[in-house]
Chain A
Amino acid sequence: MTNHDANHDSTAEDHAYFSHPMPVWMLLAIFFSLVFLTVMTVVMSELTDALQLQQWELWISMGIATLKAMLVIFFFMHVLYDKGFNRLMFFASFLFAGLFIALTLLDTYQYRQDVSSFPKSELPARQVGDK
């Protein structure tokens, strides 16, 4: 950046606009969408039994949470306009977190049979568990 030396006074101005201010309407729109989704997720959990959605309940609430997370990430955290490398890093962390969770869950029910077949009635329950 040799032009710095050439013109001291104006260089600050030259580089003044690397920022990308979010328009206020967009911030407000994102906020109200987030509030709407929050209300939706509470309403959904209230209606779970009425709508016979018990088995989907977790996926619905996690889906809504992920939608909210995406809104926050892309707009509030400005990732939509951020550098590619920052984006890559951030989403890679989710990938690894997902890998961590998925691998840990692989054998979740592996030993359920052993636990279930254990004669629980003959012993106090607290001695039986896996802790």
Chain B
Amino acid sequence: MTTADSVDESNHGHQNEFHIHDHSHDHEEHPDGPFIAHHFETAEQQFDSGKLGMWLFLVQEILFFSGLFVAYIIYRNHNPEIFEAAHVHLDKWLGGLNTIILLFSSLTMAWAVRCSQLEQYLGCIINIVITMVCANIFLGVKAIEYTHKWELGLFWADAYTYGLPQPENQNYLLWLSLPFIVITLLSAGLATFYRVTENDFWAKFFLCIAISFLGYFIGLGIAWAVPAQEHGGHSSDHAVHGSDHGHADGEKHEADDHSGDSSGEKSHEGESHDKSDENHSAKTAVPSESVDTQAGPSVDESTVDEASGEVNMGGFFSIYYIMTGLHAIHILAGIVALTWLLYRTLDRQFRKNYFGPVENVGLYWHLVDLIWIYLFPMMYLIH
């Protein structure tokens, strides 16, 4: 089954294989088809059992993510000023774009399920590939978002160095992109190799993989094309905050404003800031006892000044990286699962009474989407 030759024989080959497998138990293949295990009475019973298992898995996914949501809620309740200071570093346009990309991938995933139920192989393959492309675009955009923060020193609490001189020549993006570059080139090479050797199945398979992973670079391009992330986020913030402050342009000012807003330690601030800050700190009305509790080892007193802003946002970014990072890992796992589906669909293994794997991977994919639906307003739309 794993060799190219047997795959090319398609159904017939498989039926023999499973026939042999079943011999040890039932002496014949399950009447509902080669992929129905002998201990199930019908294909539907197998489908329902598999789906029940998938739902149980999703239930525990929700429960373990809820732990992170609790961490977020508690931390935000205790330190709202950190969230207000940090949200200017998240580009809500990129976040919104990623939301729509993920929603679109959910659409194509649901469509792929439909196609597999109706035995529309080509449609199923196209939809699975589009879903994988979207997953990779999402990761590409995310890579730009992450690396941009890292370049500014916006790390998790332990490594937080925002406002300090950053080391030169940190090729964060290159390192993040390396696996994608390797996989794209490798699968493109394999696709060419199998095309030349006229092994149609694997040529198609690796072509689809290569196309999928090209999505990552599309994502990088899109994130680059969105004009100057940090400033993009800022300009929108200016429009909103303009009514309060009526000034401030450029990164530093914005950072200062926000730190001033929330830290409440106005004695350190310039006079011009004081006035505008009154409003805002009255609104948030939160003293800053615990603001600097997250200070990493490299942040000392001297950095608590205009340049760094006074709010140490490391705590926020710890939560941000854990939640979005864990979500990104789920996306990666989804890509692996989709690759498996791609293989089986290309191999024509799904049929009217056997589409459980597509359905279940679909459920998983929608749950990943579901988590992002909540993460997006929680992380990007803070005010």
Contacts and interface: CB of A to CB of B under 8 A. Distances in A.
A82 B366 CA distance: 15
**Most chain A CB inside 10 Å of its own CB: which residue of B239, B363, B367:** B363
A61 B294 CA distance: 28
B373 A115 contact: no
A51 B42 CA distance: 58
Given A42-B96, A126-B295, A96 B63 contact: yes
Interface residues of A, number: 73
Contacts of A62: 374, 377
B73 A89 contact: no
A27 B110 contact: yes
Contact of A31 (B104, B240, B301): B104
A38 B99 CA distance: 7
Prevailing SS type, chain A contact patch: helix
A49 B352 contact: no
A105 B290 contact: no
Contacts of A127: 293
A45 B377 CA distance: 9
Prevailing SS type, chain B contact patch: helix
Interface stretch (B51-59, B162-170, B196-204): B51-59
A102 to B, nearest CB: 10
B92 A50 contact: no
B321 to A, nearest CB: 17
B378 to A, nearest CB: 8
Interface in B151-198: none
B289 A125 contact: yes
**Most chain A CB inside 10 Å of its own CB: which residue of B118, B236, B355, B376:** B376
Interface size bucket, B side? 35 or more
A27 B78 contact: no
A129 B289 contact: yes
Contacts of A16: 351-353
Contacts, number: 204
A27 to B, nearest CB: 5
Contacts of B74: 104-105, 108
A131 B103 contact: no
A65 B111 contact: no
B88 to A, nearest CB: 13
Contacts of B244: 49
Contacts of A96: 63, 66
A17 B107 contact: no
A124 B59 CA distance: 44
A15 B373 contact: no
Interface in B36-60: 41-44, 47-48, 51-52, 55-56, 58-59
A97 B289 contact: no
Given A27-B107, A65-B374, A12 B289 contact: no
B339 interface: no
A66 to B, nearest CB: 8
Interface string A30-57: 1100110011011001101110001001
A82 B58 CA distance: 15
A48 B59 contact: no
B172 to A, nearest CB: 27
B14 interface: no
Given A18-B353, A75-B110, 12 more contacts: A21-B118, A48-B240, A54-B283, A72-B366, A73-B366, A77-B366, A83-B51, A93-B59, A97-B69, A125-B288, A127-B293, A129-B290
20 contacts: A4-B31, A12-B32, A15-B32, A19-B352, A31-B104, A45-B377, A46-B236, A49-B244, A69-B373, A72-B366, A72-B370, A76-B366, A77-B363, A86-B55, A90-B59, A93-B59, A101-B69, A116-B287, A126-B293, A130-B290
Interface of A: 1, 4-5, 8, 11-12, 15-22, 24, 27-28, 30-31, 34-35, 38-39, 41-42, 45-46, 48-50, 54, 57, 61-62, 64-65, 68-69, 72-73, 75-78, 82-83, 85-86, 89-90, 92-94, 96-97, 100-101, 104-105, 108-109, 115-116, 118, 120, 124-131
Closest 3 pairs between A and B when the two form their complex, measured CB to CB: A129-B290, A129-B293, A97-B66
